């Protein structure tokens, strides 16, 4: 049992050393926004459009208003962060 654990550990050590020697592994992440920021903007537009359309409907009530506001507010903060970052990137 002990020899199996030792041999497995040795094989793992050799394979990880080989992997590291074969190619450089970067431990840094690039600064910037994710490419999924566009989805947040599209979601914000969709929720704002839905709120505008549903507010004219006869079924409009405070529960629908609250639900849409809870969806819109985080997306609005994300949109503001995206705009600020893009402007700072240009400057």
Tell me the domain boundaries of the chain. 36-91
CA distances from residue 34 to 29, 38, 44 in whole angstroms, order as listed: 11, 9, 16
> What is the model's pLDDT at position 27?
64
Which of 9-13, 24-28, 50-54 is least confident? 9-13
R_g over Cα of the chain: 25
Query: To which residue do tokens 């962060």 refer?
Result: 81
Q: Is the pLDDT of residue 48 over 50?
A: yes
How does residue 25 score in pLDDT terms, banded at 50, 70 and 90? low
What the block records as the tokens of 46 is: 């969709």
Instruction: In whole angstroms, give the CA distance from residue 48 to residue 55.
Output: 11
pLDDT digits (tens, 9 = 90+) for 58-81: 888 999 999 999 999 999 999 999
Helices (H), the chain: 2-22, 37-55, 62-90
Verdict on whether the full-model pTM lies above 0.85: no
């Amino acid at each position: 049992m002990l020899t199996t654990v030792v041999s497995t550990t040795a094989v793992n050590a050799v394979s990880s050393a080989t992997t590291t020697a074969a190619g450089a592994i970067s431990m840094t992440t690039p600064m910037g926004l994710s490419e999924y920021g566009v989805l947040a903007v599209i979601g914000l537009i969709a929720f704002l459009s839905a709120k505008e359309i549903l507010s004219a409907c006869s079924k409009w009530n405070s529960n629908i208003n609250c639900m849409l506001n809870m969806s819109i507010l985080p997306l609005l903060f994300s949109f503001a962060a995206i705009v600020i970052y893009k402007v700072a990137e240009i400057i």
